[in-house]
Amino acid sequence: MSLSPELLLHGYSIGIFPMAEHRDDPELFWVDPKFRGVFPLDGFHISRSLARRIRSCGYRITIDQDFAGVVDGCADRADTWINPELRRLYGALQQSGHAHSLEVWEGTTLVGGVFGIVLGAAFFGESMFSRRTDASKIGLAYLVDRLRQTGFTLFDTQFITAHLASLGAIEIPRAIYHSELNQALDASADFTTELEQSPQGVIQRITQTS
């Protein structure tokens, strides 16, 4: 099926999202998991080793500086569901302000990142990538801190993996997810708000609530 950006957003608003079987499959299909992966925004786990990495890594964190680069990084793996149609749609949503990226830089090299879709106070995390040790974990820590500070109430990860679970992600039944989604859609948040996000500040804010 071919989707418009508006239809894609409508899908997210009712709790479904599109995927392709693989990068070369032009067809998309809607997914509606029985159990949904979410990140409780007050439950992100920063281990002592991750806190040390955040303090000492020297990575630079930006938002919306290289959206296409983050999407490409997420698709740069042997098996991906991001096909050309989804890249086109994500790009259109980024242009309309409904999709955002967080980048992790080592000097001028993009070494990690995460991107997602925004509706109301809901952030629908699509994918992340890492080209350095812990770069995706560090990116997620900064992302959770940003979502908390800018008014978001729901961080949807779609599915849950061992990697996400180790950082605090959980699964919730579809009915509970829909309830949380509806509440988030009735609220507002601004992903692009200028923030103080120093390494120490991020660690302090997250550890005070987790």
Contact yes or no for 100/116 (Cβ under 8 A): yes
The predicted structure's pLDDT at residue 112: 97
H helix count then E strand count, the chain? 8, 9
Comparing CA positions, the residue from 11, 37, 53, 73 lying closest to residue 163 is 37
Residues 171, 35: contact at Cβ < 8 Å?
yes
Q: According to the model, what pLDDT value does residue 118 have?
A: 98
Q: What is the pLDDT of residue 23?
A: 82
Q: Within 13 Å of residue 72, how many CA atoms lie on the same side as its CB?
A: 6
pLDDT of residue 77: 83
Instruction: Give the burial string for 1-12 (b: 16+ CB within 10 Å, else e).
Output: eebebeebbebb
Q: Tell me how far apart the alpha carbons of residues 166 and 39 are, in angstroms, rounded to a whole number.
A: 11
CATH number at residue 144: 3.40.630.70
Instruction: Dump pLDDT digits (tens) for 22-36.
Output: 888 888 999 999 999
Dihedral of the CA atoms 127, 131, 133, 137 (nearest 10)? Answer: -20
3-state secondary structure of 171: strand
- 55 DSSP assignment: H
Copy the structure tokens of residue 93: 């949503």
Burial degree of 136 (CB within 10 A; 0-12, 13-18, 19+): buried
Total domain count, the chain: 1
Query: pLDDT tens, position by position, for the chain (210 residues)?
Result: 578 999 999 999 999 999 988 888 888 999 999 999 999 999 999 999 999 999 999 999 999 999 999 999 999 887 888 999 999 999 999 999 999 999 999 999 999 999 999 999 999 999 999 999 999 999 999 999 999 999 999 999 999 999 999 999 999 999 999 999 999 999 999 999 999 899 999 999 998 876
Q: Angle, nearest 10°, between helix axes 135-149 and 199-209?
A: 70
Q: Which residue has the tokens 């120490």?
A: 200
Three-state secondary structure call for residue 78: coil
Domain that holds residue 20: 5-209
What's the CA gap between 110 and 89, in Å, rounded?
Answer: 22
